[in-house]
Structure 1
Amino acid sequence: MKNNYEYVFQVKAKTKSKQKLLEEAKLKEINRLLDKMEDSLNFMIEFNKKLDQTIEKYN
């Protein structure tokens, strides 16, 4: 009977570690996408600044 309990405990431990790894992978992907979004926003901000400067230059 003890072996059954040990087996169940091991399966639960493996399942939890797999879930944790999956959560970590999801968080890494979310962070990667947020970094890309931040880069895009920074590019757009810089582009708008340069566009404003160009508009002012020709007005």
Structure 2
Amino acid sequence: QRLPQRPRGYYREYTVRTPDLGHRGARRIVTGGDPPEVWYYTDDHYETFRGFEVPPNGGAR
């Protein structure tokens, strides 16, 4: 799955740390919207994405 086309600035990227790797690696979480309304994960540096859901308030109680 590729990301849907959106205006510049819609998406924000966050690095997912990979243990024992001396650089940023390929794993990222990408959110869309402000506040985020969609969430995606890629482990192949933007070739493919998987959407996922985050509970309201991040699941905090």
Q: TM-score, normalised by structure 2?
A: 0.18
State the structure with bigger RCO (CA 8 A, min sep 6), 1 or 2. Answer: 2
Larger Rg computed on CA atoms = 1
If the length of structure 1 is used for normalisation, what is the TM-score? Answer: 0.18
Which structure is higher in strand share?
2
